[in-house]
Structure formats: structure tokens, C-alpha cells
């Protein structure tokens, strides 16, 4: 019964988010009774639906019908231990890599304790309160042929292959070397288990030269490809912390905090705790909306915080 209720919720949220969500909601909720037996230490199972889908710029609903996010009875990430995975043969090519690997390292190293991380601190779940406490454990590079993002179970399998010691508060973003092509989204996040350990993970296309996923950072601090990855990384990590396993915080249309402020920017650059600066979309705050202290999202709802 619990599995069926969760499946119904996943399908409802996919329908609310539109055809892109329906496309990549695959491999979800496959645990079931057949997976009740024990798993080996690195067997991935139970990949969740893709959530927090960053649609290309200008696409998707503006969530006008819903304002405050609602709590749905599940957990949040009170802390997060992040470890990035760069997947695909191009990550061995220095011309392709450019500033992306070192830049993503710097992004995650500075996220913890930043004002941007604190934009999610108001949300709590059955296990406690979201905090700005995140750590970065570095990255791994897998130069085998990468997969696209149309199946969450495939990305979870990559996490299981590359992360030797997963932790329950782990967040594992997977950056592939494949371009978006005709896919209508830039990134997403999901959840599953590796052996008996619950994990959170995310998927990101290579966004080099991708105008549909470009925040148009004119600071000159980063390459266009890195700036694009940094922006959607903020979207997904913020959502994973407030809705890690599909039963956290989202509004009546299924939109999470990143979705509600997607492609809106409250400051030219946001400064992280290590001094690095990034052009990143804002994140939704119920408190800011209720007190009229945020900046407007694309629907004119004043609930976004820049994190500056």
C-alpha cells in the first residue's frame, strides 16, 4: 500500500510538471516485494522519480496557481555530504574539461555555510531542520561511455559504481559529457538506495554552448559551460535538501523551491563562503512570500531569495 501511494504521488507530480517529467520518470519505484530481500553492498535499487526538473529557459509553467510550498510528511536533508561524479570519455580531454571540474569543486566547497545555502533553512521534516551545513568530499572521474538522463535507475547505478562508501546524507551529482540535444530539460534530482544506504543524486547534461540552459553570466569569472552548470547545481542541491525523497516540501502543483524561482536572479552575483562568486537563480521561501520580503518569480510572487 505504501508503495502504491508513493507511486500515485510520483505520477501526479510528473503529470503536474508536464511532459518532460513524464519522459524521464523511468525506473522509478521498482523495489516492490521482489526487492524485499537483502542487497549486496553496492546494489542500486528503488530509484525514485526525477524531481526538480530544470526546463530550458522560457519553457514550463509559472506556477501561478500555487504560492506557499506545503509539507508532505517526509524527511529533509538536515546536512549534506556531497561528492561529484564526472562521467564520460570527454572528461579525460583537457580542452573539454577547461575550468569545469575545478570550478564545480570550488562551487561545492563554498556552498556550505553560505547565505545561499541558508535560503532553505526554514524548512523542516520528520527528521529535523534543514541547515546550511554541507561538506564536499571531492570528485571522481569515470571515463566510460556516459548515459543520458532519461532513466533515473541508470544514473543511480553509476552512483553505486563510483561511490565506494555512500552515506545516508549523501548527495551525488552526476555530470555527463553528453549535450542536451533535443531534451527539454537541463538537470534533475532523485533518490534511491545503494545496498541498504539511502542516497540522493542528480543528473546534469553538458551545457557548453547551450542557450536554453544558459544563465547569461557576463561577469567573465567562468566559462559559459561552467556558469550554466553552477546555476542548475544550485537549483538541484537546494531542492534535494528540502525534498530529498519525494515527500518533503513542494507546492500544490508539485513545484519545489528551485522550480518556483527558476530563471530568476535577485543579484548579479552571489558570493559563497569561500569567496567564489556565481550567477545563480534564487530559491523560494515561504516566509519571504508571507512577509512580502522576497523578490518576484516569473509569476510575480514575491517569495524568492537571492542568497547574496
β pairing state of 197-206 and 51-55: unpaired
- The DSSP annotation for 33-45 comes to GGG-S---TT-EE
Give the residue ranges of DSSP H helices in 98-166: 100-111, 152-162
The secondary structure of residue 244, as a DSSP letter, is T
Bridge partners, residue 292, by sequence: none
Query: How far is Cα 98 from Cα 40, in angstroms, rounded to an integer?
Result: 37
Query: How far is Cα 124 from Cα 129, in angstroms, rounded to an integer?
Result: 4
Closest CA to 191 of 204, 180, 200, 182: 200
Per-residue pLDDT of the chain (308 residues; tens, 9 = 90+): 333 333 334 444 544 443 333 334 332 322 222 222 223 456 676 788 998 899 998 765 455 557 999 999 999 999 999 999 999 999 999 999 999 999 999 999 999 999 999 999 999 999 999 999 999 999 999 999 999 999 999 999 999 999 999 999 999 999 999 999 999 999 999 999 999 999 999 999 999 999 999 999 999 999 999 999 999 999 999 999 999 999 999 999 999 999 999 999 999 999 999 999 999 999 999 999 999 999 999 999 999 999 99
List the domains of the chain with CATH numbers: 66-305 (3.40.390)
What is the chain's length?
308
Q: What is the pTM of this model?
A: 0.88
State the DSSP H helix or E strand holding residue 202, giving kind and residue range, or none if neither. Answer: strand 197-206
Which residue do the cell numbers 507546492 mark? 251
Contacts 24+ apart (CB under 8 A), 28-37: 28/152, 28/153, 28/190, 29/3, 30/153, 31/3, 31/193, 32/3
Residues with Cβ < 8 Å from 281, sequence gap 6 or more? 215, 231, 234, 235, 258, 261, 262, 263, 264, 265
CA angle (113, 119, 123) in 5-degree steps = 105
Tell me if residue 299 falls in helix, strand or coil: coil
Amino acid at each position: 500500500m505504501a508503495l502504491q501511494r508513493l507511486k500515485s504521488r510520483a505520477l501526479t507530480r510528473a503529470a503536474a510538471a508536464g511532459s518532460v517529467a513524464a519522459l524521464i520518470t523511468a525506473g522509478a519505484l521498482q523495489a516492490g516485494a521482489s526487492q524485499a530481500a537483502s542487497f549486496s553492498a553496492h546494489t542500486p535499487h528503488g530509484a525514485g522519480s526525477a524531481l526538480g526538473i530544470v526546463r530550458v529557459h522560457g519553457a514550463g509553467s509559472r506556477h501561478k496557481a500555487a504560492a506557499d510550498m506545503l509539507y508532505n510528511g517526509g524527511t529533509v536533508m538536515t546536512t549534506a555530504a556531497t561528492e561529484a561524479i564526472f562521467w564520460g570519455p570527454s572528461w579525460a580531454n583537457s580542452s573539454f574539461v577547461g575550468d569545469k571540474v575545478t570550478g564545480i569543486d570550488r562551487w561545492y566547497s563554498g556552498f556550505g555555510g553560505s547565505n545561499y545555502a541558508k535560503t532553505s533553512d526554514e524548512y523542516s521534516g520528520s527528521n529535523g531542520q534543514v541547515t546550511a551545513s554541507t561538506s564536499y568530499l571531492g570528485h571522481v572521474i569515470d571515463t566510460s561511455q556516459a548515459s543520458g538522463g532519461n532513466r533515473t535507475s541508470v544514473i543511480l547505478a553509476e552512483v553505486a559504481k563510483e561511490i565506494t562508501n555512500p552515506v545516508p546524507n549523501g548527495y551525488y551529482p552526476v555530470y555527463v559529457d553528453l549535450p542536451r540535444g533535443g531534451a527539454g530539460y537541463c538537470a534533475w534530482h532523485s533518490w534511491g538506495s545503494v545496498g541498504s544506504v539511502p542516497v540522493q543524486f542528480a543528473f546534469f547534461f553538458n551545457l557548453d554552448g547551450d542557450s536554453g540552459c544558459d544563465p547569461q553570466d557576463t561577469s567573465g569569472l567562468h566559462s559559459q559551460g561552467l556558469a550554466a552548470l553552477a546555476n542548475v547545481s544550485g537549483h538541484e542541491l537546494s531542492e534535494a535538501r528540502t525534498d530529498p525523497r519525494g515527500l518533503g516540501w513542494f507546492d500544490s502543483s508539485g513545484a519545489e523551491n528551485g522550480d518556483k524561482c527558476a530563471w530568476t536572479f535577485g543579484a548579479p552575483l552571489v558570493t559563497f563562503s569561500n569567496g567564489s562568486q556565481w550567477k545563480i537563480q534564487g530559491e523560494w521561501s515561504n516566509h519571504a512570500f508571507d512577509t512580502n520580503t522576497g523578490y518576484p518569480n516569473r509569476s510575480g510572487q514575491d517569495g524568492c531569495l537571492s542568497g547574496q
